[in-house]
Amino acid sequence: MRVSDKARIRQRRIIHGVLILLSFSLMFLGKADLSALRNIRMGSSDFLAPVIDFVSAPIRGIETMVEGVRTVASLRAENVRLQGENDLLKRWRRRAEILESENRQLRSVTGAATIENRTPITARAVTAPGGGFAHTVLIAIGSEEGIVRGNPVVTADGLVGIVIDVGRAYARVLMISDINARIPVILSSSSWPGLTVGQNGQFLDLQFLPDEAQPKIGELVLTSGHGGVLPNGLPVGRVDQIEDGTIRVRPAVDLRNLSYVSVLTGGLEGIDNSNLDLADFYTPLPIDDTTRLLEGLDSSGQRR
Amino acid sequence: MKDQRSYFERADFQSDFPLQFLAGVVGMILVLLELGVAQWPFFYGAAPVLSLIFIYYMIIYHDKYMPVFVIFLMGIVGDVLLSDLLGGRATAFLLLTYVMQHRLVRLQQSDFGQLWLDFAVSCAAVSLFQLLLFSALNFRIPALSPILFQLGATLILFPIGFVIIFTIHRLLQKVKIV
């Protein structure tokens, strides 16, 4: 082996070692969630997002083509299904109109406030979660459009997640299925509060429900609005499985098929959006004693 | 007398930089392609690690065209775009490269079946390393099924990726680029 080769190998080993050390240190810096690092991260996402869009175009084309072939093949069955769904929807529409009218009357009686004033802005999802360690998406909208950290992201079906990083033209959304996403929720029929916790999979865990709560399969889970970051009443999912005390929730939105989403802007005035761990705004209910459960009532429902 | 070694070294010099740059560009495109593939509902949350197949091939057959800095960059870009733990993937890739470089001769002499098996072990090691780091830093274990699915998809795509890269390599040889 020549001297120059030896020197080159030594140099290469040193560079290798330095890079391993650098990437290892980056992990701890990244975990520290420094705002400078977050800005660099979002800056690079801003820079690379159009390139991802360009590279993904052929893949989206193939997907559309496959979808088209599949649709043509199942057109007849689809037609029958849609007719059935149409009839059902007409019935639901009539029911909704009745309920809406009833709701309006009740609101006028109780003086309850309408849903918080938030303006939806539509955005395109540029990426999808690609690994098992983080469930986030980049959306093609950023600070230029008035997006800020903490804005909820929804579709017509329900909650997708929360904006966690904002760049100039792109923003990153932490999906409800991410392991770090903890959403304060209530059960729709009984109003028992709890937390949905993502698992980096397709389902969420419903945790911290009081013992008395008896969720039913198919029951809707809605945001409770604790902390004010998320408005209350957004569908998060439906109870899908109850097994050995573990309650699994299927997200209301099909997170695998996100193309367009709505970002709900506004409504965050006076809220500290530097802490987006919504679980911090939620305190599990005390259930073993007669302490406060609802204002003025104890756990047995008696007035205090 | 003046040491003449440096003159001979200079005479030996032939720049690998253009090909290293090309390898870097291809690597980056593969990282971005992973994100594109992730948009298929089938690969939701578990896109195959195409960049790992490329790194594996390049380290075995074209070590000198695959500088560690490119591997580091591929890992970091992947971490940033997937919003993974920053540096997690990069560290895993660099450590794998380090181990592979020590077993290079054996790997170069292996047949395809052995390479596939070795890739399976390497891929599992990378996933396990990332999983351990993630769990240690977050105090939680994520759902394992997407990780296993990702591992399986990458292993299934390995022969296809291998053949594609090999074909491109042969084509480049024909036009006398490599």
pLDDT digits (tens, 9 = 90+) for B23-77: 999 999 999 999 888 888 888 888 999 999 999 999 999 888 899 999 999 999 9
Could A128 and B44 be called an inter-chain contact, meaning their C-beta atoms sit closer than 8 Å? yes
Is residue A260 domain-resident? yes
In the predicted model, what is the mean pLDDT of chain B?
Answer: 87
What is the pLDDT, as a whole number, of residue B121?
Answer: 95
- What's the pLDDT tens digit per position in A252-265? 999 988 888 999 99
- Residue A116 in any domain: the answer is no
Instruction: Tell me what pLDDT residue A289 has.
Output: 47
Tell if the CB–CB gap between B91 and A23 is shorter than 8 Å. yes
Question: Minimal Cα–Cα distance from A231 to chain B, Å?
Answer: 26
Q: Which residues between 48 and 67 in chain B have a beta carbon less than 8 angstroms from any beta carbon of chain A?
A: none
Residue A86 lies inside a defined structural domain of this protein? no
Give yes or no: residues A61 and A159 share one domain: no
Q: Tell me what pLDDT residue A1 has.
A: 59
Q: Specify whether A164 is located in the same domain as A60.
A: no
Q: Do the chains contact at B35 and A129, CB–CB below 8 Å? A: no
Q: What does the alpha-carbon distance between residue B150 and residue B49 come to, in Å, rounded to a whole number?
A: 7
Q: Pick from A31, A130, A179: which is nearest to B34 by CB?
A: A130
Distances (CA, A) of A241 to A182, B1, B6: 19, 84, 72
Whether residue A245 lies inside any domain: the answer is yes
Number of separate domains in chain A: 2
Tell me which of A72, A95, A117 is where a domain ends.
A72
Q: Please answer yes or no on whether B45 and A131 come within 8 Å at the CB atom.
A: yes
B69 in contact with A, Cβ within 8 Å: yes
Residue A87 in any domain: the answer is no
CB–CB of A132 and B37 under 8 A?
no
Chain A residue with minimum CA distance to B97? A16
A273 and A160 co-located in one domain: yes
Task: Determine contact: B73 vs chain A, CB below 8 A.
Answer: no
User: Which pTM does this prediction carry?
Assistant: 0.79
User: What CATH number does residue A275 fall under?
Assistant: 2.40.10.350
Instruction: Name the residue range of residue A201's domain.
Output: 154-281
Asked if the structure places residue A77 within a domain, the reply is no
What pLDDT, on a 0 to 100 scale, did the predictor assign at position A60? 79
What pLDDT band is residue B117 in, cutting at 50, 70 and 90? very high
Residues of B in contact with A128 (CB under 8 A): 35, 38-39, 44-45
To test the contact with chain A by mutation, choose from B55, B64, B66, B83 the residue with the greatest count of A C-beta atoms within 10 A, namely B83
Q: Is residue B122 very low, low, confident or very high in pLDDT (cuts 50, 70, 90)? A: very high
Assess if residue A227 is contained within a domain. yes
Q: Is residue A230 part of a domain?
A: yes
Task: Determine the pLDDT at residue A302.
Answer: 55
Q: Give A83 to chain B, closest Cα distance, Å.
A: 26
Please judge whether A26 and B80 are an interchain contact, meaning their C-beta atoms are less than 8 angstroms apart. no
- Regarding whether A169 and A63 lie in a shared domain, the answer is no
Contacts of A135 in chain B (CB under 8 A): 45
CB contact under 8 A, B32 and A59: no
End of a domain among A24, A39, A72? A72
- Residue A158 sits in the same domain as residue A270: yes
- Domain match, A58 and A159 both: no
CB distance A130–B37 less than 8 Å? yes
Nearest-Cα distance to chain A for B64, in Å, is 10
Which residue, A41, A72, A103, sits at the end of a domain?
Answer: A72
The verdict on A269 and A158 lying in the same domain is: yes
What DSSP string describes chain A?
A: --HHHHHHHHHHHHHHHHHHHHHHHHHHHHHTT-HHHHHHHHHHHHHHHHHHHHHHHHHHHHHHHHHHHHHHHTHHHHHHHHHHHHHHHHHHHHHHHHHHHHHHHHHHHHTPPPSP--EEEEEEB-----SSS--EEEES--GGGT--TT-EEEETTEEEEEEEEE-SS-EEEEETTSTT-EEEEEETTT--EEEEEE-SSS-EEEE---TT----TT-EEEE--TTSSSPTT-EEEEEEEEETTEEEEEESS-GGG-SEEEEEES--TT--TT---GGGG--PPP-SSSSEEETTEETTS-B-
Which residues of chain A, if any, have pLDDT below 50?
111-114, 287, 289-293, 304
Do residues A158 and A63 share a domain? no
